[in-house]
Amino acid sequence: MEKSNGLRVMLFPLPLQGCINPTIQLAKILHSRGFSITVIYTRFNAPKASSHPLFTFLEIQDGLSETETKTHDVTLLLTLLNRSCETPFRDCLTKLLQSADAETGEEKEKISCLIDDSGWIFTQPIAQSLNLPRLVLNTYKVSFFRNHFVLPQLRREMYLSLQDDSEQDDPVQEFPPLRKKDLLQILDKETEVLDSYSKMILETTKASSGIIFMSCEELDQDSLIQAREDFQVPIFAIGPSHSYFPGSSSSLFKVDETCIPWLDKQEDKSVIYVSFGSVNTINEAEFMEIAWGLRNSNQPFLWVVRLSSVVHGTEWIEAIPKKFIEMLHEKGKIVNWCPQEDVLKHRAIGGFLTHNGWNSTVESICASVPMICLPFQWDQLLNARFVSDIWMVGMHLEGRIEKNVIEGAIRRLLLGTEGEAIRERMELLKVNVGRSLKPKGSAYRSLQHLIDYISSFNL
């Protein structure tokens, strides 16, 4: 950490793995630049405070029942959290500001601003009432965030026409580079509750003091130009946050460290890494198709299967016959969770079968690992299109969870000439993104502007 600048930043992550990681990474970045850090968090999916002894952690009640914490409906979960956390958060923030005002002497610190996730829709009016600047941390790709606000209109105007099977592969002009089948999948699963929620996100983001994106010009140039016009607030695209402090993820799951020694025994670029994130689920039939696809590819694989990620089963993979699991382990390794950044950077990894969450997509790019895209929902569908259709650094399964399709994609990626071309393009993309983080690079400059901006709140 640089010498303390006497300023404290408050951070408030959404309690989802894909939101906690970038928030803690941003906290580390700001702390390294002299800011003191306070993280306000919910009891549900609480980050591990002991892993970050230099930060102050404050817990607030989230009001969730045990049943509600187990829901797979993310929209419902976020709606419940926004309803129940407002009063506890207001009380916590008010006390912090009062305590800061009461401090005397040379050690007095000023609270500079609040940085929280765009999914918290009650924090903007609270911060405004307390005269505290609020910056929005956004964990989506810029192009998804700015375009997803058109979804309610598309639901009203296009939903029926999208169901024409002959047009499923046609592009969606209002939401590039999505295809109509992608958009139908998004609109099919989401509800009017989400439309109302998105409207509030738009309004509170426009009223904020600025937006922070974990992206860069090299990944989102056109969208950043458009976003600055749309929101009319300062925007900071500071690049892949994990690149500043590699291996500093804040996992909510117990990590199986045995996967690294296992990878050490494998040949270079021979292993297919498989993970579908912290939220997505598959059923038993899909599990078996993926398992056979991996086994039949005859390539070593490292497969993350979270507890409860296989629905309609018993617990984890205990429902699968032991002989079948033993057969899988002859060629691969199955773990509950793993240190993904370390895995992707390992010399043995040759490809990533992924759900294309933004964090996973960017981590794969930074490690120069080509992808096989199997998006499940929401922004994953757009990220996958960028990977396969725009940057051309991966292959798209087009939703086909079939053993022959998966086997074929793995073989083409790891053993074929198509895979060689993809790896070359991925290496170029990695270099360009890496350049943005170096002095004079776009993300480097944007981060410096962010530091100056936060510091200016107390001048």
Q: CATH number of the domain that 308 lies in?
A: 3.40.50.2000
Cα Dmax for the chain: 72
At residue 401 the predicted structure's pLDDT band, cuts being 50, 70 and 90, is: very high
Helix H or strand E segment including 210: strand 210-213
Report yes or no on 251 lying in a domain: no
At residue 165 the predicted structure's pLDDT band, cuts being 50, 70 and 90, is: confident
Report yes or no on 2 lying in a domain: no
Task: Report the percent of the chain where pLDDT is more than 70.
Answer: 92
At residue 242 the predicted structure's pLDDT band, cuts being 50, 70 and 90, is: confident
Report yes or no on 182 lying in a domain: yes
Report yes or no on 218 lying in a domain: yes
- Number of Cβ within 10 Å of residue 51's Cβ equals 12
Report yes or no on 94 lying in a domain: yes
Q: In whole angstroms, how far apart are CA 450 and each of 232, 236, 447, 457? A: 16, 6, 5, 11
Nearest CA to 253 among 335, 317, 341, 131? 335
One domain for residues 66 and 134: yes
Report yes or no on 252 lying in a domain: no
Say yes or no to pLDDT of 190 above 60: no
- The owner of tokens 């895979």 is 419
Report yes or no on 1 lying in a domain: no
One domain for residues 351 and 441: no
CB 372 within 8 A of CB 364: no
At residue 283 the predicted structure's pLDDT band, cuts being 50, 70 and 90, is: confident
Provide, for the chain, the percentages of residues in helix, strand and coil under a 3-state DSSP scheme, each rounded to the nearest 5.
50, 15, 35
- Reduce the DSSP state of residue 332 to 3 states and report it: strand
What's the average model confidence in pLDDT over 409-414?
A: 97
Full-model pTM? 0.92
Determine the Cα–Cα distance for residues 34 and 6; give it in Å rounded to an integer: 8
One domain for residues 71 and 166: yes
CB 137 within 8 A of CB 23: yes
The pLDDT of residue 279: 82
Determine the Cα–Cα distance for residues 329 and 352; give it in Å rounded to an integer: 18
One domain for residues 224 and 273: no
One domain for residues 193 and 328: no
How many domains are there within the chain? Answer: 2
Range of the domain at 235: 7-244+437-456
Strand pairing class (7-12; 301-304): unpaired
One domain for residues 385 and 450: no
The per-residue pLDDT of the chain, averaged, comes to 89
Determine the Cα–Cα distance for residues 193 and 196; give it in Å rounded to an integer: 5
Render pLDDT for 360-378 as a digit per residue (tens, 0 to 9).
Answer: 999 999 999 999 999 999 9
Render pLDDT for 100-138 as a digit per residue (tens, 0 to 9).
Answer: 776 655 567 899 999 999 999 999 999 999 999 999 999
Determine the Cα–Cα distance for residues 356 and 362; give it in Å rounded to an integer: 9
One domain for residues 337 and 375: yes
The pLDDT of residue 49: 86
One domain for residues 219 and 266: no
Render pLDDT for 320-374 as a digit per residue (tens, 0 to 9).
Answer: 667 777 777 778 999 989 999 999 999 999 999 999 999 999 999 999 999 999 9
Say yes or no to pLDDT of 410 above 90: yes
Report yes or no on 67 lying in a domain: yes
Give the rounded distance of the alpha carbon of 183 from its chain centre: 20
One domain for residues 410 and 372: yes
One domain for residues 227 and 85: yes
One domain for residues 235 and 313: no
Would you call 98 exposed, middle or buried from its count of C-beta atoms within 10 A (0-12, 13-18, 19+)? exposed
One domain for residues 192 and 174: yes
Residues paired with 37 in a beta bridge: 9
Give the full edge-to-edge strand order of the sheet including 349-354.
Answer: 332-335, 301-304, 271-275, 349-354, 371-373, 394-396
Render pLDDT for 73-106 as a digit per residue (tens, 0 to 9).
Answer: 888 899 999 999 999 999 999 999 988 776 655 5
